[in-house]
Chain A
Amino acid sequence: MWFASPDEVRGRLASVDYLADDGIATSVFLAGALGKPLLAEGPAGVGKTQLAKAVAQATGARLIRLQCYEGLDEARALYEWNYKKQLLRIQADGDAWEDIFSEEFLLERPLLRAIRSDEPTVLLIDETDKADVEVEGLLLEILSDFQVTIPELGTITAIRRPYVVLTSNATRELSEALKRRCLYLHLGYPSPERERDIVLAQVPELPGLLAERLARTVATLRGLELKKSPSIAETVDWARTLLALGRTDLDEGVMAATLGVVLKHDSDQSRAAKELGLPRP
């Protein structure tokens, strides 16, 4: 049993400084209660990765992370035989053909590690959309029965199913089949009220009023038609920057001088400066 109720999720995530709304609390609870993987999708920097880490931290579980990228394959995701070690063994002992396909020569990768883990485990499959489409087939297989067949060793079944979180930036649509298998959580930009609370959870030294001002400014920026809207991570960075500069207020001069922390494109900066009526630095 991972969590007893959505309320318990909220409480325990808050204790590790992660603020859950109704959607987060309910889906995190259900993923544990129904034993289904949770797919968290949304733009960059809205707390998808952090959510998995927070679940692990709040429950004292071990975190195993599979970082996806273009070209990720079974050998990197699941397991691989250690060829070099096998070759050395064969050279030393020409009759060792039987032994070299044994535990000793197996390189365990994150998926296998999570399946074989005998302690409570959170498996984070991060940035699933970056992996090639074929990897989804592999994930689908693993996530449906949590077992792996290694021809030389036999079938390995999970002793206890890991709590699985997949994240995606939606740079491409994940397959229908994978989505059907998962519970779905869309993480978007929070309301200014919630973002203020998130900023204060991450940067408790920040004065409350300044956090409020930051959150409102960022909400306004997100309303503009920008190439890249500021993320929560960037709001938090902005808060840290102001603190480091010893600023307790966000007046127009400071805003103009530090806008680069949240807006990375030149054209976005000029649009924002224009719409907010800021002096151009």
Chain B
Amino acid sequence: MSEPLLDRHVAFVGALREAGLPVSLAEGLDAARALTVIDLAERETLREAYAATLVKRPQHRPGFDALFDLWFPPVISDGPPEPAPGHAERPVLPNETAELRDRLADLLMGDPDDPAFRAFARSMVGRFGRVPAAGNRQSWFSYPVLRALSPQTLIARLLDAMLAERGGVPETLARTQISRNIRKFEEAVVADVRRRIAEESGIEKIARTSVPLPIDRVDFLRLTRDELARLRREVHPLARRLATRLTARRKLGRRGRLDVRRTVRASLSTGGVPLTPHLRPRRPHRPELVILCDASGSVAAFSHFTLLLTFALREQFTKVRAFAFVDTVDEITAHFRPGVDVLDAVTRMTEEADIVRFGRTDYGHVFTRFAERYADAIGPRTSLLILGDARSNYQAPALDALRRLAGEARHAHWLNPEPRPQWDSGDSLASAYAGIVPMYECRNVAQLATFVEDLAQVY
């Protein structure tokens, strides 16, 4: 391997580790060996060779790709030369944008893997992406590019061009295709912006700030709508993984104490020699679960996801009952019957359940109300699980009511989606409640998965 390539390799592997990919020494060496047998001029082969040797979880792939693009940027040879930094911007001519939008419309109807697609995105970043920054500096951004071309506003026009008539399945299919291609265009713009920043201010600087987190590490409280939809698609695979792990562990612990009578009886057939010990089957203890969840806007994404996950895991519990609240509380178990569509369940729960009086979260009132109406839901076999940020708009906390509920239950846990350092700030009653019910930080899917696994295992 040539020295410059070796340096680059070492720096790239270092950056991957810094971004959280667990690349071992041996894997780094595997990658280096792979570089000696491939054609290094083939950029996509190089990318895939690195991916095959270093990226062993699909969640890490987007971050890997972003870093690869920075360390091994494409050799670019298209478009007219761009004005040097510091040059006066060329003014945008009135019908220039219209022409560029026509060109974009054509590309959006085609195959986004066509090299012309990326080349166009790059030249558009060159044209619109430079913005004067603080001091005498310039920088690159994607929003002026997307604002100038405004791909979203091309949708109607594209539909008309693609369809003889609107409506029905053909329109739905065309919309899927168009939005995917728009997303690809936006991604290509973002990637090229990153490449240019890296070129001008150094790779390390941008690498640290712009690499996407794996989805299971993104804070619930910061999920975009797209990310939430992506997460919801992960509910069932995640539930399946958790269930397999739980079943496997239960099985390991399944062998119980020696059953003396059965062992002796069986030994009669072997002349009194107890060849086969018989063990008492251990009764699998599956907890009964009662979930009490904050459904107010601030934490809704977290509550929805957690509800979906627990219901997807319902076989792991003897029984699951769920209650939602904002400033009063209602049972929502029926919305999650087996076979019910999950999205419907979440929408219906928010529309039909009686959980809002004045619309501002009031934990104290909710605990009092719950104790009055649903005290029977909690018994000595129940695990009580409370989901919420403990932000109660400065209302009375009703600590006694919560203490009574927790006292009736076998276990009680509280999952708080806020980062721990923010607990107790402002109207948060985190510590007050945490003194009664153990409270866990649960900011992302990774933390939630760990918790659920432990919960379903409590014997």
Interface of A with B (CB < 8 Å)? 5-6, 22-23, 25-27, 29-30, 33-34, 36, 39, 41, 43, 132-133, 170-173, 176, 179-180, 182-186, 188, 191-193, 213, 216-217, 219-220, 223, 225-229, 252, 255, 265-267, 270-271, 275-278
| Pair A270/B341 contact, Cβ less than 8 Å | yes
Q: B residues 39-97 with Cβ under 8 Å of A?
A: 39, 42, 44-45, 47-49, 51-53, 55-56, 58, 61
| Pair A225/B229 contact, Cβ less than 8 Å | yes
- Since A6-B42, A192-B177, A217-B169 are in contact, a sample of 12 more A-B pairs with Cβ atoms closer than 8 Å, ordered by chain A residue number, is A6-B38, A22-B44, A23-B48, A23-B52, A27-B52, A39-B56, A171-B241, A180-B26, A216-B177, A220-B176, A225-B342, A225-B343
Expressed in whole angstroms, the Cα–Cα distance for A183 and B53 within the complex equals 5
Across-interface contacts of A39 in B (CB, < 8 A): 56
Which residue of the partner chain, among A26, A171, A186, A193, contacts B38 with CB atoms under 8 Å?
A: A26
For A274, give the chain B residue with the smallest CB separation. B341
| Pair A220/B173 contact, Cβ less than 8 Å | yes
Expressed in whole angstroms, the Cα–Cα distance for A236 and B413 within the complex equals 47
Across-interface contacts of B173 in A (CB, < 8 A): 213, 216-217, 220
| Contacts A/B (CB < 8 Å), 8 sampled | A6-B45, A22-B47, A25-B45, A36-B30, A41-B58, A172-B241, A229-B233, A267-B341
| Pair B58/A186 contact, Cβ less than 8 Å | yes
Which residue of the partner chain, among B48, B180, B343, contacts A26 with CB atoms under 8 Å?
A: B48
Count of chain B residues with a beta carbon within 8 Å of a chain A beta carbon: 48
Is chain A's interface secondary structure helix, strand, loop, or mixed overall? helix
Across-interface contacts of B33 in A (CB, < 8 A): 34
| Pair A33/B37 contact, Cβ less than 8 Å | yes
Listed residue (A26, A219, A226, A276) with the most chain B CB atoms within 10 angstroms of its CB: A26
| Pair A277/B169 contact, Cβ less than 8 Å | yes
Q: What 4 pairs across the A-B complex have the smallest Cβ distances? A: A26-B48, A27-B52, A220-B176, A179-B56
| Pair A26/B237 contact, Cβ less than 8 Å | no
Which residue of the partner chain, among A27, A188, A223, A278, contacts B58 with CB atoms under 8 Å?
A: A188
Listed residue (B26, B169, B180, B342) with the most chain A CB atoms within 10 angstroms of its CB: B169
For B167, give the chain A residue with the smallest CB separation. A277
For A23, give the chain B residue with the smallest CB separation. B48
| Pair A26/B341 contact, Cβ less than 8 Å | no
Which residue of the partner chain, among B48, B52, B172, contacts A276 with CB atoms under 8 Å?
A: B172
Expressed in whole angstroms, the Cα–Cα distance for A25 and B42 within the complex equals 13
Expressed in whole angstroms, the Cα–Cα distance for A173 and B53 within the complex equals 18
Across-interface contacts of A36 in B (CB, < 8 A): 30
Which residue of the partner chain, among A132, A180, A227, contacts B24 with CB atoms under 8 Å?
A: A180
